[in-house]
């Protein structure tokens, strides 16, 4: 099991507040059977420079790994650094954007605007794929659906060679089930992420989400997702 979307790194964003909470979140991930966790704090170009973000991320990562080494908590999973990069105009031409991809890969977790998607957005995503040679993974695709009054750009973007990530929270809810059923018709390769932020309201829930997905859509879909996830990272 791979968690493609988490906010576990301490003190980076609106996720884990401190190392203690991060250790609790990682313990829960491990207990659920997660084997690899992608650490994907928010990156906002209007707020941060890539260089300073990477420095803060490394500092946070070192604090976390030091605590893991000092406390024998039986946590058996691998950690990989990344980022959840919020779209900004011109991102398709942005220098250094590759530095925000998942460690050791060309995969960029891209958070799209919570608004009607436009031609400009389509061009930028296309450039990230064709010009920057990045593998694009769109974060929590279910969250953009209600903003698309016109489906033109939505359909164009999902015809591009990219991947989509779905949050594992609330898969058994009617609205989420209906979205997934509709989205599957686009035949876009899917991966899963908990998008966990804390130990109170947005806990790691990858196993629960996978169980719901299996119960509702069947073992075949889950097996296909597992193969996609393994292929992406290997």
The overall longest dimension of the chain from CA atoms, in Å, is 53
Buried b (16+ CB within 10 A) or exposed e, 33-50: ebebbbbbbbbebeeeeb
Confidence of residue 71 (pLDDT cuts 50, 70, 90): confident
Please give the Cα distance from 212 to 193 (Å, whole number).
14
Does the structure show a pLDDT above 80 at 73?
no
Confirm if 54 and 12 have CB atoms less than 8 A apart: no
The DSSP symbol for 98 reads: G
Question: Which pLDDT score, from 0 to 100, does residue 74 have?
Answer: 78
Does the structure show a pLDDT above 90 at 75?
no
The DSSP symbol for 93 reads: G
Please give the Cα distance from 230 to 59 (Å, whole number).
28
pLDDT tens profile 100-124? 999 999 999 999 999 999 999 999 9
Q: Phi first, then psi: give them for residue 91, nearest 5 degrees.
A: -60, -30
Mean pLDDT for the chain? 97
pLDDT tens profile 164-219? 999 999 999 999 999 999 999 999 999 999 999 999 999 999 999 999 999 999 99
Please give the Cα distance from 57 to 51 (Å, whole number).
10
* Cα distances (Å, whole numbers) of residue 57 to 27, 50, 199: 20, 10, 21
Does the structure show a pLDDT above 80 at 163?
yes
Which three-class secondary structure state does DSSP give residue 174? Answer: helix
How many residues in total does the chain contain? 234
Q: Phi first, then psi: give them for residue 67, nearest 5 degrees.
A: -65, -40
Please give the Cα distance from 180 to 184 (Å, whole number).
6
Confidence of residue 50 (pLDDT cuts 50, 70, 90): very high
């Amino acid at each position: 099991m791979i968690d493609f979307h988490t906010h576990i790194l301490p003190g980076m964003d609106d996720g884990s507040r401190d190392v203690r909470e991060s250790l609790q979140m990682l313990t829960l991930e491990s207990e659920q059977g997660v084997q690899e966790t992608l650490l994907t704090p928010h990156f906002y170009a209007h707020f941060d420079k890539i260089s300073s973000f990477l420095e803060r991320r490394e500092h946070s990562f070192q604090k976390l790994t030091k605590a893991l080494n000092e406390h024998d908590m039986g946590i058996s999973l691998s950690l990989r650094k990344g980022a959840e990069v919020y779209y900004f105009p011109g991102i398709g031409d942005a220098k250094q954007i590759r530095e925000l991809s998942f460690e050791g890969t060309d995969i960029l977790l891209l958070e799209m605007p919570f608004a009607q998607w436009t031609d400009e957005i389509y061009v930028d995503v296309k450039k990230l794929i064709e010009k920057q040679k990045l593998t694009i993974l769109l974060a929590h695709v279910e969250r953009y659906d209600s903003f698309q009054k016109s489906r033109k750009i939505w359909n164009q973007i999902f015809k591009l060679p990219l991947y989509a990530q779905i949050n594992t929270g609330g898969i058994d809810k009617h609205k989420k089930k209906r979205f997934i059923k509709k989205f599957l018709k686009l035949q876009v390769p899917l991966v899963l992420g908990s998008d966990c932020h804390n130990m109170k309201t947005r806990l790691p829930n990858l196993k629960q989400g996978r169980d719901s997905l299996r119960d509702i859509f069947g073992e075949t879909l889950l097996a296909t997702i597992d193969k996609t996830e393994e292929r992406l990272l290997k």
